[in-house]
Chain A
Amino acid sequence: MNALLVAPVVWPLATAALLVLLQGRLSIQRTLSTASAAAQLALAVILLARVATEGILVVQFGGWDAPFGISFVADHLAAVMVLVNGIMGTAVAVYALRDLDADRERLGYHPMFHVLLAGVNGAFLTGDLFNLYVWFELLLIASFVLLTLGNRREQLEGGIKYVAANLVASMLLLTGIGLLYGATGTLNMADLALKLPLVPAGLATTLAMLFLVAFGIKAAIFPLFFWLPASYHTPPVAISALFGGMLTKVGVYALLRGFTLLFVADVALTHGLLAWIAGITMVVGVLGAASQTEFRKILSFHIVSQIGYMVMGLAFFTPLGIGGAVFYMVHNIFAKANLFLIAGIARWYGGSFELKKLGGLYRHRPLLAVLFVIAAFSLAGFPPLSGFWAKLVVIRAGFEVQAWPLVAVALFVGLLTLYSMTKIWLAAFWSPLPEGVTLRAGPAPALLYAPVVALALLTLAMGFASAPFFALAERIGAELTDPTGYVLAVLGEAAAAAFVAQGVAP
Chain B
Amino acid sequence: MEAYLAVVVGAVFAGGFYLVMRRNLLRFVFGLILLSSGVNLLVFTAGRISRGAPPIIPEGASAPVGEVANALPQALILTAIVIGFGLTVFAMVLLLRLYERLGTLRTDQLKAYLEAPQPVPGLPDEEAPA
Contact = CB atoms under 8 A, between A and B. Distances in A.
A130 B76 contact: yes
Contact of A181 (B28, B73, B91): B73
Contacts of B20: 168
B102 A157 contact: yes
A151 B42 contact: no
A167 B43 contact: no
B28 A137 contact: no
B97 interface: yes
B85 to A, nearest CB: 11
A7 interface: no
Contacts of B14: none
B86 A141 contact: yes
A164 B98 CA distance: 13
Given A168-B20, A171-B36, A181-B46, A156 B87 contact: no
B15 interface: no
A144 B20 CA distance: 19
Contacts, number: 86
A454 to B, nearest CB: 31
A134 interface: yes
A178 B39 contact: yes
A140 B87 contact: yes
Contacts of B25: 160, 164
Given A160-B25, A163-B91, A170-B87, A153 B42 contact: no
A179 B42 contact: yes
A153 B127 contact: yes
A333 B130 CA distance: 31
Interface string A372-406: 00000000000000000000000000000000000
B47 A151 contact: no
Given A168-B20, A178-B43, A181-B46, A153 B117 contact: yes
Given A152-B127, A167-B32, A178-B39, A159 B94 contact: yes
Contacts of A174: 36, 39, 43, 80
B45 interface: yes
Contact of B94 (A154, A156, A171, A178): A156
A144 B98 CA distance: 14
A137 B43 contact: no
A174 B9 CA distance: 14
Contact of B46 (A157, A160, A179): A179
Interface size class of B (residues with CB under 8 A): 35 or more
Contacts of A368: none
A159 B95 CA distance: 10
Interface in A155-193: 156-157, 159-160, 163-164, 167-168, 170-171, 174-175, 177-179, 181-183
Contact of B39 (A148, A154, A175, A182): A175
A349 B98 CA distance: 31
Contacts of B97: 148, 151, 156
B36 A153 contact: no
Contacts of A148: 94, 97
B114 A137 contact: no
Interface string B30-60: 0010011001001101111000000000000
A299 to B, nearest CB: 21
Provide the main secondary structure of the chain A interface: helix
A174 B82 CA distance: 13
B9 to A, nearest CB: 9
Given A130-B76, A160-B98, A171 B32 contact: yes
B83 interface: yes
Given A137-B83, A148-B94, A154 B32 contact: no
Interface size class of A (residues with CB under 8 A): 20 to 34
Contacts of B43: 174, 177-178, 181
B69 interface: no
Contacts of B87: 137, 140-141, 167, 170
Interface string B1-28: 0000000000000000000100001001
A157 B36 CA distance: 24
A130 B32 contact: no
B44 to A, nearest CB: 8
A179 B80 CA distance: 15
A140 B86 CA distance: 11
Interface string A126-138: 0000100110010
Given A160-B25, A160-B95, A151 B127 contact: yes
A141 B98 contact: no
Given A174-B80, A181-B47, A156 B90 contact: no
A154 B127 CA distance: 11
A130 B46 CA distance: 14
B17 to A, nearest CB: 9
A351 to B, nearest CB: 11
A141 B82 CA distance: 13
A154 B39 CA distance: 32
Contacts of B90: 141, 144-145, 163
The 7 closest A-B pairs by CB, nearest first: A182-B46, A178-B43, A137-B83, A156-B98, A178-B42, A178-B46, A174-B39
21 contacts: A134-B79, A137-B86, A141-B86, A145-B90, A148-B94, A151-B101, A151-B126, A153-B101, A156-B101, A156-B102, A157-B110, A157-B114, A160-B25, A160-B94, A160-B95, A160-B98, A167-B91, A178-B39, A179-B46, A181-B72, A182-B45
Interface of A: 130, 133-134, 137, 140-141, 144-145, 148, 151-154, 156-157, 159-160, 163-164, 167-168, 170-171, 174-175, 177-179, 181-183
Given A144-B90, A170-B87, 14 more contacts: A140-B87, A151-B97, A151-B101, A151-B126, A157-B98, A157-B111, A159-B94, A167-B91, A174-B36, A174-B43, A181-B76, A182-B47, A182-B48, A183-B46
